[in-house]
Amino acid sequence: MVIFMKKIAISIFIFLLAMCATTTSQADSDPIENAWNGTWESEYYILLIYQNGTAISGSYEPKDSTLYDPGLLKGMLSEDGKTFSGIWTESGPLSVVLSDDGMSISGSYGIRIDKKLTESDMYPTTRTRMEDSFDPENPWNGTWRGERTITTWIQNGTFVSGTYSPLPDIDDEPGISEGTVSGDGNSLKGKWIEAGNFSFTLDDDLMAFTGTYDITLNDPTGTDTWNGKKIM
């Protein structure tokens, strides 16, 4: 009887171990929610990505704007959330994979979308996740969500440049913006392309801005509201 009870106990113990292993395996394989959100760095670019479910939008900014141009990217994630496939605005196809630890992405990009691509048309690309931290010297840095757009800016002293992309449910065009920060750092004025002027002011906590924009560079005929909250 004692031997029989030991066998039952051992069987239950093995079963519980198996259940724990299965649960752990399932948890490890589940994709992290919005794992692509963040700032990514390569040798020549800073890439900002915003994930909304399986949709990806983002922008890339050159470290040296005299050598390279900024641009936008958009696309969709694979079912497991590990692969992002889309286009970048120069323009061409892009396909990159998120590493298991979520700290880097690697893959390839092409330089044309109107022809069938071969391996010789694709170029390797790798990005490393940057630690997202608030920089009080450059408070306009980051990604901001408004009612219609996701805006990303990189601030370098008093100069700010960036891109904006429409939210997934908004039928609008992406574009590029650049401007100059006031002496106290709280105001940003500049131009957006397609094109018009804008004027923004940071809130006291530096985590949101309010402002207006118009739709022509000369003799503005009207203004509308453009607000945003920092999301990373």
pLDDT digits (tens, 9 = 90+) for 142-200: 888 888 888 888 888 899 988 888 887 788 888 888 999 999 999 999 998 878 899 99
pLDDT score of 46 = 84
Class level of CATH domain 38-129: mainly beta
| Residue 4 scores a pLDDT above 60 | no
Three-class SS state of 91: coil
**Helices within 95-165 (DSSP H only):** none
| Residue 222 scores a pLDDT above 70 | no
Three-class SS state of 171: coil
What sign has the CA pseudo-torsion 78, 83, 87, 89?
positive
- For the segment 33-62, the average pLDDT, to the nearest whole number, is 82
Main-chain phi, psi angles of 52, to 5 degrees: -130, 90
User: 46 forms bridges with which residues in the sheet?
Assistant: 41, 61
Three-point CA angle 38, 73, 46, nearest 5°? 45
| Residue 34 scores a pLDDT above 60 | yes
Which tokens is 190 given? 């500049």
The third-level CATH classification (topology) of the domain covering 142-230 is Porin (2.40.160)
**Contacts of the segment 88-91: beta carbons below 8 A, 24+ positions apart:** 88/60, 89/174
The set of residues, in sequence order, having a beta carbon less than 8 Å from that of 191 and lying 6+ positions away, is 177, 178, 179, 197, 198, 217
Residue identified by tokens 């106990």 is 9
Q: Which of 64, 29, 35, 65 is nearest to 50 (CA)?
A: 35
Q: Are 175 and 194 in contact (CB under 8 A)?
A: yes
CB atoms inside a 10 Å sphere around CB 197: 18
CB atoms inside a 10 Å sphere around CB 91: 15
Cα(63)–Cα(84) distance, integer angstroms: 23
pLDDT score of 200 = 95
Comparing 25 with 148, the larger pLDDT belongs to 148
pLDDT score of 104 = 92
Q: Are 42 and 125 in contact (CB under 8 A)?
A: yes
